[in-house]
Homo-oligomer: A and B are copies of this chain.
Amino acid sequence: MTRKSGSASRSTIRDVALRAGVSASTVSRVLGGAYPVSSATRTRVMRAVGELDYVADARAKAVAGVGTPTLAFVLEDITGPSFAHMAHGVEREATRLGHLCLVCSTEGDVQHELDFVEMMRAQRAAAVILVGGGADTPEYRERTRRMADSLASAGSRLVLCGRPPLGPGAPVTVIEYDNEGGAYALVAHVLAQGHRRILFLGGKPDHSTALGRERGYLAAHRARGVDPDPALLLHGDFTRDSGHQLMRRALAEGLEFTAVVAATDMVAAGALTALHEAGLDVPGDVSLAGYDDIPFARDLHPALTTVHVPYQELGRLAVRTALGHTADAPAEHLLLGTHVVVRDSVRAVS
């Protein structure tokens, strides 16, 4: 039995070389593979490596130019189901392509995000993927463009995933899902069931994702020739609690509506319990629809009609595109389609 955990100090390639009675170059070569080494030497080196339980320092290899590439993933909160699915896609694809995957939650703090991106630039990450919507302000564009430039000059690429695109010419890859289109289709479906007063439980007023879905809501109304009541457009955020509160307030205020469309399945879930708490039946008394098609949507009661967003695929695509490992997505700006999945939570108005 070999004493492997002799001391806590990690051994260097020189230790191995010394023990095997060869030079450091030789050790590097037998470990590296593609170089002729006599089998006797190889054996001695391998034995020394085994006895010392040696692993080459990845950071040193990286400096020497033969490191494992790295990719960074920045989101607001890994806890949201849709983010989690994107993260999953990113992580899978990254490791499939032999990349390490760094992750960071910003908790919505812009400064934190900035700091992290700077950090990733220092790490020489192959790509930095920013995910999740935000306010599309000039200040945002300016700041993000600066990130993109500085990352580009450091040789890595910025990917915006579900975020407002920058102007043309920015060295950035944008991958979006079609918020407006999805909401349009969903609300069209609800309208087709005869509903005319549809409450919309939106997100923050300037949040790009929320805005897109809101636009779809509006567009569907216009296409149908109905004039949406502005009082039916409520704003909160994308949490379950927001949906719950918004719905309670709407009910308390005596707002009139026969259907509710939530900007998110989470919001819909909160709204649903608020509805239940008020003694209302869904979809008997009021119809309800969500957005995202998180796995739980099926288990709400009634099963939630919603629009499916291919989050995992989105994550995968983001890393493939960023890493240039794809021929089928050379474009700098992709827009993924969505489709509504109808279940039991919206019913024709009687």
Contacts and interface: CB of A to CB of B under 8 A. Distances in A.
Interface of A: 4-10, 53, 55-63, 67-68, 77-79, 81, 84-85, 87-88, 91-92, 95, 100-105, 107, 118-119, 121-124, 149-150, 152-155, 171, 240, 269-270, 272-273, 276, 295-296, 298-301, 303
A154 B78 contact: no
B68 A77 contact: no
A86 to B, nearest CB: 10
A296 B149 CA distance: 41
A81 B272 CA distance: 20
Contacts of A155: 8-10
Contacts of A68: 119
Contact of A121 (B6, B55, B101): B55
Given A68-B119, A153-B4, A101 B102 contact: yes
Contacts of A78: 78, 84, 87-88, 91
Among A7, A79, A240, A272, the most chain B Cβ lie within 10 Å of the Cβ of A79
Given A10-B153, A58-B122, A59-B63, 8 more contacts: A5-B171, A53-B150, A57-B124, A77-B88, A79-B81, A101-B102, A101-B103, A102-B103
B301 A123 contact: no
B91 A104 contact: yes
Nearest to A59: B62
Given A79-B85, A273-B299, A122 B91 contact: no
Q: Which of A81, A270, A301 has the most CB of B within 10 A?
A: A301
- For the complex of A and B, the 3 pairs showing the least CB-CB separation, nearest first, are A269-B299, A58-B122, A59-B62
A298 B296 CA distance: 12
Contacts of A104: 91, 95, 101
Contact of A154 (B10, B149, B301): B10
Given A101-B104, A154-B10, A273-B298, A59 B55 contact: no
Contacts of A154: 10, 53, 55
A52 B278 CA distance: 62
Contacts of A60: 63
A56 to B, nearest CB: 6
